[in-house]
Amino acid sequence: MKIIVAERIKELMKENGYNQVKLAEKAGVKQNTISAWLHEKKEPSITSLWLLADCFDVDIDYLVGRKNY
């Protein structure tokens, strides 16, 4: 199974009108961390996935590609 976190974050950012700075503020992480996730240099920790799921009001399974909506 391919983990598609970066693709899902980009999609959800676009749907919600977030840029990297706004998402970083909402998720409580640094903007360069968001950038690293989007460029697939790093993957979010489980704690960060929880925060992202809450920011976007989605399941973690959706973020990692285990579910499609």
Q: What is the DSSP letter of 41?
A: S
Question: In this model, does residue 60 exceed pLDDT 90?
Answer: yes
pLDDT in tens, 5-56: 999 999 999 999 999 999 999 999 999 999 999 999 999 999 999 999 999 9
DSSP3 helix / strand / coil % (the chain, rounded to 5): 60, 0, 40
Tokens of 22: 């706004």
Q: Quick one: pLDDT at residue 2?
A: 60
Question: In this model, does residue 64 exceed pLDDT 50?
Answer: yes
Q: Quick one: pLDDT at residue 1?
A: 44
Closest residue by Cα to residue 38 from 61, 16, 13, 62: 13
Could you tell me which CATH number the domain at 5-59 has? Answer: 1.10.260.40
Amino acid symbol at 46:
I
